Structure 1
């Protein structure tokens, strides 16, 4: 089974995965586009834990997994570049914490914040480049057929539907980069707020 979900709060994500396990669905994979892949089995009471890390080398990633394995945690899913790393306790349904201190638990939100802001900067930079290509004139993204809006009847619809795919191809990158910039800004701000609240509560 596959489900689409997006979380900026790791505690909410862990709660969601635990509820899925109680319903007999266990995390198999988490894709970069927010899709959770589940395998169906006998329902269990599990306690997932999520960390947020990115690694420079595969060796660093393997050392990271080995460190948690030695501490009693089974690495369920995560890759060198996937950011989110998913763990379950080796001793069944233990509800212990993978983080030894509140600082280390809060630090994952700072990691997420930096990643979101980096992606935000990339999305906005890409948007600016696209707008420069179109001379910052949105009319250059739309229909370019001369006299299109003065045409009538069959001639208009033929011209309209002929050019429509090209309009969508020009507009899609602009719209997507803008939306992604907004989404990453929202996620980054939420992660920063959660981090700040955790540090204040300490």
Structure 2
């Protein structure tokens, strides 16, 4: 089963995943949403960390450290950042973090990566503007995006057929670049919220 959901608060995400396990849905994969397998309901202890690794060896060592401590790595990759663990050994500790400071630090790491990602898109936005890929005229005169000769002189069915056919292409010509500022805004929002959560957890 696939669920499209998004969390910034890791503790809320943990509680939701534990509830899903109680309902018989067990996490298998996370990529633009959550993939679950149907199984027997169980009381699961699931924890979320945030770490990005530069090389595969460090990532493997990180996963093995938790495996040796009684925690199974459920989902996440060396570049995904968010890592999911489930307690498998009854003798293991109930948390993967040793104290409140290390638990809060995951929000700081998430904020840092989010803000760095936002800043990395700024040069591309400037390049798009300088090379006229960003079409500001589209906001003032959207009809300029329609290139069908004589479109605005057509009437009735002929007009609507031509208009509806070209509209997707017009939108792509005028606003395809908009994913960059939207991405920047989202990353800035994630960074802001993560920093706020970090502050809350360090009080």
Range of TM-score over shorter length: 0.7 to 0.9
**Using the alignment, how far apart are the partners of 2:98 and 2:160 within structure 1?**
65
Aligned to 1:190: 193
Q: Decide whether aligned partners of structure 1 residues 23 and 94 sit closer, same or farther in structure 2, where only a CA change above 3 A counts.
A: farther
Q: 1:22 Cα deviation (Å)?
A: 0.8
Q: What CA deviation, in whole Å up to 9, does each residue of 1:100-127 have, x standing for no partner?
A: 1222111111111011112222344433
Q: What CA deviation, in whole Å up to 9, does each residue of 1:68-102 have, x standing for no partner?
A: 12222211122111211111112259771101122
**TM-score between the two structures when normalised by the length of structure 2:** 0.85
- Please show how residues 39-58 of structure 1 align to structure 2 within 5 Å: 39-58=37-56
Q: Cα RMSD over matched residues?
A: 2.4
User: 3-state SS of the aligned residue for 1:88?
Assistant: strand
Greater mean deviation of Cα atoms: 98-107 or 47-56? 98-107
**Using the alignment, how far apart are the partners of 1:139 and 1:162 within structure 2?**
21
User: 3-state SS of the aligned residue for 2:95?
Assistant: coil
| Matched pairs, number | 198
Q: 1:58 Cα deviation (Å)?
A: 0.6
Residues 47 and 95, structure 1, Cα contact 8 Å, conserved in 2: no
Gaps of 5+ in 1: none
Aligned to 1:134: 132
**Using the alignment, how far apart are the partners of 2:178 and 2:135 within structure 1?**
14
**Using the alignment, how far apart are the partners of 1:28 and 1:172 within structure 2?**
36
Residues 45 and 93, structure 1, Cα contact 8 Å, conserved in 2: no
**Using the alignment, how far apart are the partners of 1:93 and 1:4 within structure 2?**
34
Aligned to 1:121: 119
